Amino acid sequence: MKVRDIMTRRVDCCTPETDLGTVACLMWRRDCGAVPVIEPRTKQVVGMVTDRDICIGLGTSGKRPDERRVKEIIGERAYTVGADTDVREAMLTMQRHQVRRLPVTNRQGELEGMLSLNDLILHAENGGPTETHVAIPDLMRTVRTICEHRATALVPDDLPRAEVEVC
């Protein structure tokens, strides 16, 4: 089965200059937790912004949502997959980078859709992979790998250290 067979086709996006409040409203309206970031000149996917990125980006900055831009909180790299990629290969990419969603791009890097864990789950069935189903063992391996704790924390050096009491 190919990514194009199960991907979400209608995907809203933002630019690196979009403010975080606007992106949060977009996520609320579309009932999603991540939005691809598109470079307006080239139309290429340059990153992903998640609800977690917004929450931590605002919570650690002391700024209002309209005072921060997407470019301030996204990572340096966007992991993407092509529409003609085999779904099992896409799941390996999700595992390798511990991501729950992959923008689907064409050869020019332009957005065509999104492949998420939700898409995989909705097409899962017992048994081996078929032309219309994802094998549950493959799906569970992907979810387990994505959910594993990372070996090192991704904490910027300039982030204030919170004084916390462990209960």
- DSSP sequence for 101-130: EEEEE-TTSBEEEEEEHHHHHHTEESSS--
Spatial distance between the Cα atoms of 65 and 57, rounded to a whole number of angstroms: 9
pLDDT tens digits for range 18-67: 999 999 999 999 999 999 999 999 999 999 999 999 999 999 999 999 99
Query: How many CA atoms, within 13 angstroms, populate the side-chain half-sphere of residue 11?
Result: 25
Pick the CATH number of 3-147 from 3.40.50.1970, 3.90.650.10, 3.40.50.11740, 3.10.580.10: 3.10.580.10
pLDDT tens digits for range 137-160: 999 999 999 998 876 555 555 555
pLDDT at 161: 52
Distance of CA 106 to the CA centre of its chain: 17
Spatial distance between the Cα atoms of 37 and 157, rounded to a whole number of angstroms: 25
Q: What is the mean pLDDT of the chain?
A: 89
Decide: 61 and 48 in contact? Cβ < 8 Å. no
Domain boundaries, the chain: 3-147
pLDDT band for 162, please (50, 70, 90 cuts): low
| Size of the chain, expressed as the number of residues it contains | 167
Q: What percent of the chain has pLDDT over 70?
A: 87
Q: Which two tokens stand for residue 100?
A: 């729950």
Distance of CA 72 to the CA centre of its chain: 17
